[in-house]
Amino acid sequence: MTSAKGLVLSSIDIALAHRPLIALEAMVAPGTVLTIMGPSGSGKSTLLAYVGGFLDPVFTATGAVTIDGLDLTALPAEERHAGILFQDPLLFPHLSVASNVAFAIPSSVRQRAERRAIAEAVLKDVGLDGFGGRDPATLSGGQKARVALMRVLVARPRLLLLDEPFSKLDMALRDQTRRLVFERARVAGLPVVLVTHDIADAQAAGGQIIEVGMNA
Amino acid sequence: MLLPRIIRGLTFVILVVPLVCGLVGTALPAFGYLPTLGGDHLTLHFFADLFARPGIGRSILLTFATAFMTTALSFLVVIVFVAGWAGTHAFARLQHLVSPLLALPHAAAAFGLAFLIAPSGFLLRLVSPWLTGFDRPPGWLIVHDPLGLAMVTGLVVKEVPFLLLVTFAALPQLRLEQTRRLAASFGYGRIAGFSYLLAPPLYGQIRLAVYAVLAYASSVVDVSAILGPTLPATLPVRLLQWMNDPDLALRFVASAGALVQLVLTLSALALWWAAECGVGRLARFVCAGGARFRRDAWLRSLSLGLVTLSAFFIFAGMAILALWSVAGLWQFPNALPNELTMRNWARHLPQITTPLITTVYVALISTTLAVLLTLGCLEREVVWGRRAGHMVLTLIYLPLIVPQISFIFGLQVLTIITGTEASLVALVLVHLIFVLPYVFLSLSDPWRAYDRRYELIAAALGVPRWRVLMRVRLPMLLRAILTAAAVGFAVSVGQYLPTVLIGAGRLTTITTEAVALASGGDGRVIGIYAFLQALLPFLGFAIASLAPALLFRHRGALRV
């Protein structure tokens, strides 16, 4: 089981003050999406926090998170390489667009020029050629979403966590961004955990859907 | 992370250990024990001596009454102003004015006020002789008046901005707009609605700051020496005189007095606490009667007037100080000097240089240490979750509530014993005790309000914790950090009593020099020192707001 390819969530149990929030068991193969659906307050974002390694200590959680056989459970967030996208793009406001991307490039790439070149190339890849020197505050919502996505991918994560990343985009943009994100994750072979309350997200993801918190 | 834990422990040590050691160091000589000065047995003799001093009863009573009046007035002005104006445009505009007002050292504000309202001051010059017929200053006792009214005024104009700033920080946690509408829909006046519904939770949040004002006003030395009564002076002023008296035996009496000072401040706090309960009960009684107090326009205007007046006193005072520093001949009743000249500056600059360097040096080091310690404490909070927040806050306020004079006497004894008197290290450390709380208070809110998801994203990108801190959180909070540093710098520049006692007259700052000049009454020299004293904190705030604006000039989201 632990040697399986992809993300394995085994016997996950999360509780707040002895009140059980979430209990689940799942496997996410590389390039596929597991969608967690539930109303707000159902603890679905808590699951992402547990997988990402930044669960607030007020919660108690048990269960193992493994990726390609590697147990992440005991690792701190910065060693898990679990890329995450939130509702807001959260581009670092004090850095330029290119520096935002370059910040994410692994430290194994040492040369400044090379890091810069990678950042520019990645931006070009999503139609943001020449945007590197821009102030993130001057970008449109769709452009910000694309930079945020590329920033996560360029860090070469082991998996991708999506915390309702499309809910603040307007209809047309939402569909477009959704397709881009899923497409890129599939190409990169990343297991994806998507948390949403929008059934359209789940349908577009096209993977297994788990509903939580319906009895709460 | 180990480092933040060490820093937190260190912060605790810096806030609590000097306090305890200082109090012990004050208490022992008070009861006659100080071997270096020949005190080798315990006795109550020095308390008897203290209470036998002429006018001591009046000094104590004056201190108590002026402190209580200062706090009550400042609090009333602020709470009525906030009740009547919170959420309006005038209120929002005022928010920007408050920080520089707060930055101004007490002594500079007191000098400014003195130069305005004294019989030879600017206000009377404006109306003389055409209105008053005076061609020489009248013999009125306005400054140094026996009831301490000038001193109360000088303290109130400085405490109003402080309480306003604390209130500004607390207001966002109240449902101001909804509650206001709700109260109005029941037909309550603005001030009454606020007082019934919002004042109790607001007071809960600013209570410690109000206590700090009361404690400060009851033990202040510099403002009292500049504006306060003289025959007799308030207790803290007399204590310092005895402490600095060539007759070393008076130190025992001064130490006994410092303990009496502690009891005095604690009694004032106890009385205030009792008054709190009384006022609360009265308010509930009135509220239960359903009184609406709809016609409160006059009270609102009055509160706006008083806040404006206190701001006017400060700004006009600064202008007058600046003017005096460049004044040539300036006889009464001329409203303006005959000529403007840089001669005063040229003449005094050589003597100013050393105290100026000491001032800046001590302020920079103590502020840097305070910022680092605060960052360490707050970072630990991030890592471990926010626990026992109230305990920490009380601890932070401790050096602001225990009267300075009661434990710095003891600390001075300690520096003599350890041979560190008049050393820069000791001076920086004693400043740090008072700088740290202010830096912590001004940095903790923005730090906690920071959107943690930025850090989560960065961590998820595989970036180590310290690098996230250096590259993401600290740059994004640069403005808040620099503002906190400016506050700390201003606090250090303004320290009088700790500097006089620990500097032992050999390490002097702009502030100690300015206050020492007070009795001389030479307007030009006082103008120079007090103006410089005011200028330094303003420079600090200017840098704190300009540096981020310059650094982030191409970053729209970080502009204000």
| Shortest CA gap A165–chain B (Å) | 13
Backbone angles phi, psi at A160, to 5 degrees: -125, 130
Name the residue of chain B whose CA is nearest to A157's CA.
B461
Q: Do the chains contact at B554 and A135, CB–CB below 8 Å?
A: yes
Taking phi over 0 as left and psi of -120 to 50 as alpha, with beta for the rest, A8 belongs to: beta
pLDDT for the residue numbered B292? 85
Q: For residue A180, what is the domain's CATH number?
A: 3.40.50.300
Beta-strand pair A208-211/A33-37: parallel
| Shortest CA gap B311–chain A (Å) | 35
More confident residue, B192 or B362: B362
Average pLDDT over residues B119-124: 88
Residue A207 in domain: yes
Q: Do the chains contact at A93 and B453, CB–CB below 8 Å?
A: no
Average pLDDT over residues B444-454: 88
pLDDT for the residue numbered B306? 92
Residue B553 touches partner A, C-beta closer than 8 Å:
no
Give CA B430 to chain center in angstroms: 16
Residue A24 in domain: yes
Q: Do the chains contact at A93 and B468, CB–CB below 8 Å?
A: no
Which candidate in A55, A78, A193 is best for mutational testing of the B interface (most B CBs within 10 A)?
Answer: A78
Average pLDDT over residues B270-282: 94
Domains delineated in chain B:
66-227+281-324 (1.10.3720.10), 345-405+422-560 (1.10.3720.10)
| Shortest CA gap B478–chain A (Å) | 10
Q: How many CB pairs under 8 A join A and B?
A: 81
- Which tokens is B173 given? 């946690």
Q: Do the chains contact at A137 and B557, CB–CB below 8 Å?
A: yes
Average pLDDT over residues B174-195: 86
Beta-strand pair A159-163/A82-85: parallel
Distance CA B8, CA B4 (A): 6
Distance CA B381, CA A9 (A): 30
Q: Is B535 in contact with B490 (CB distance < 8 Å)?
A: no
pLDDT for the residue numbered A2? 45
Residue A100 in domain: no
Please report which helix (H) or strand (E) contains residue B192, including its range: helix B190-197
DSSP character string of B131-174: TT--SS------TT-TT-HHHHHHHHHHHHHHHHHHHHHHGGGS
**Closest CA relative to residue A27, chosen from A67, A87, A72, A60:** A67
pLDDT for residue B132 is more than 70: yes
Residue B461 touches partner A, C-beta closer than 8 Å:
yes
Handedness of CA B457, B458, B463, B466 (dihedral sign): negative
Highest averaged pLDDT of the listed ranges A2-11, B166-175, B282-291, B399-408: B399-408
Residue A34 in domain: yes
Backbone angles phi, psi at B388, to 5 degrees: 50, 40
| Shortest CA gap A171–chain B (Å) | 25
Instruction: Give the helix ranges, DSSP H, for B339-452.
Output: 343-384, 389-401, 404-418, 424-449
Name the residue of chain B whose CA is nearest to A133's CA.
B554
pLDDT for the residue numbered B1? 54
pLDDT for residue B386 is more than 80: no
Q: Do the chains contact at B459 and A81, CB–CB below 8 Å?
A: no
Q: At what angle do helices B478-494 and B523-551 cross, to 10 degrees?
A: 170
pLDDT for the residue numbered B553? 86
Average pLDDT over residues B350-366: 95
Percent of chain B clearing pLDDT 90 (strictly above): 49
A77-107 pLDDT, tens digit per residue, is 989 999 999 999 999 999 999 999 999 999 8
Say how many domains are in chain A.
Answer: 1
| Shortest CA gap A128–chain B (Å) | 19
The minimal CB distance from A57 to the residues B385, B471, B552 is found for: B385
Rounded to two decimals, the pTM is: 0.89
Q: Is B296 in contact with B88 (CB distance < 8 Å)?
A: no
Distance CA B323, CA B326 (A): 5
The minimal CB distance from A77 to the residues B459, B471, B557 is found for: B459
The minimal CB distance from A90 to the residues B454, B463, B468 is found for: B454
pLDDT for the residue numbered B211? 95
| Shortest CA gap B330–chain A (Å) | 53
Q: Do the chains contact at B462 and A78, CB–CB below 8 Å?
A: yes
Residue A129 in domain: no
B540-554 pLDDT, tens digit per residue, is 988 988 888 888 888
Highest averaged pLDDT of the listed ranges B93-97, B272-276, B324-328: B272-276
Instruction: Give SS3 for B558.
Output: helix
A163-207 pLDDT, tens digit per residue, is 999 988 888 899 999 999 999 999 999 999 999 988 889 899 888
pLDDT for the residue numbered B446? 87
Question: SS3 helix, strand, coil % of chain A, rounded to 5?
Answer: 35, 25, 40
Distance CA B213, CA B167 (A): 14
pLDDT for the residue numbered B128? 81
B490-524 pLDDT, tens digit per residue, is 999 999 999 999 998 889 999 999 999 887 778 88
Q: Do the chains contact at A78 and B456, CB–CB below 8 Å?
A: no
Distance CA A212, CA A198 (A): 13
Residue A1 touches partner B, C-beta closer than 8 Å:
no
pLDDT for the residue numbered B2? 67
| Shortest CA gap B485–chain A (Å) | 20
Q: Do the chains contact at A137 and B456, CB–CB below 8 Å?
A: no
pLDDT for the residue numbered B254? 93
Domain range for A198 is 7-95+155-211
Instruction: Label residue B207 exposed, middle or buried (CB < 10 Å: 0-12, 13-18, 19+).
Output: middle
Beta-strand pair B33-34/B39-40: antiparallel
**Closest CA relative to residue A67, chosen from A76, A80, A77, A53:** A80
Q: Do the chains contact at B460 and A83, CB–CB below 8 Å?
A: yes
- Which tokens is A76 given? 């701190």
| Bridge partners for A19 per DSSP | A16
pLDDT for residue B539 is more than 50: yes
Cα angle: A151, vertex A124, A140; to 5 degrees: 70
pLDDT category at A135 given cuts 50, 70, 90 is very high
Output A178-183 pairs: Cβ under 8 A, ≥24 positions apart: A178/A204, A179/A204, A180/A126, A180/A146, A180/A149, A181/A85, A181/A149, A182/A33, A182/A206
Give CA B314 to chain center in angstroms: 14
Edge-to-edge strand order for the sheet containing A82-85? A82-85, A159-163, A192-196, A33-37, A208-211
Q: Which residues of B526-555 are buried (b: 16+ CB within 10 A; e: fewer)?
A: bbbbbbbbbbbbebbbeebbeebeeebeeb
What are the chain B neighbours of A93 within 8 Å (beta carbons)? 476, 555-558
Residue A35 in domain: yes
Instruction: Give SS3 for B207.
Output: helix
Give CA B370 to chain center in angstroms: 17
The minimal CB distance from A82 to the residues B460, B463, B478 is found for: B460
Distance CA B327, CA B340 (A): 5
pLDDT for the residue numbered B421? 83
Residue A105 in domain: no
User: Which of the 8 DSSP states describes residue B111?
Assistant: H
Alpha-carbon Rg for chain A, nearest whole angstrom, is: 17
The minimal CB distance from A81 to the residues B384, B462, B471 is found for: B462
Residue A6 touches partner B, C-beta closer than 8 Å:
no
pLDDT for the residue numbered B560? 63
Q: Do the chains contact at B462 and A86, CB–CB below 8 Å?
A: no
Backbone angles phi, psi at B88, to 5 degrees: -95, 170
| Shortest CA gap A144–chain B (Å) | 13
Beta-strand pair A192-196/A33-37: parallel
What are the chain B neighbours of A104 within 8 Å (beta carbons)? 461, 463
Distance CA B107, CA B30 (A): 29
Distance CA B4, CA B25 (A): 31
pLDDT for residue B341 is more than 70: yes
User: Which of the 8 DSSP states describes residue A69?
Assistant: T
Distance CA B516, CA B497 (A): 12
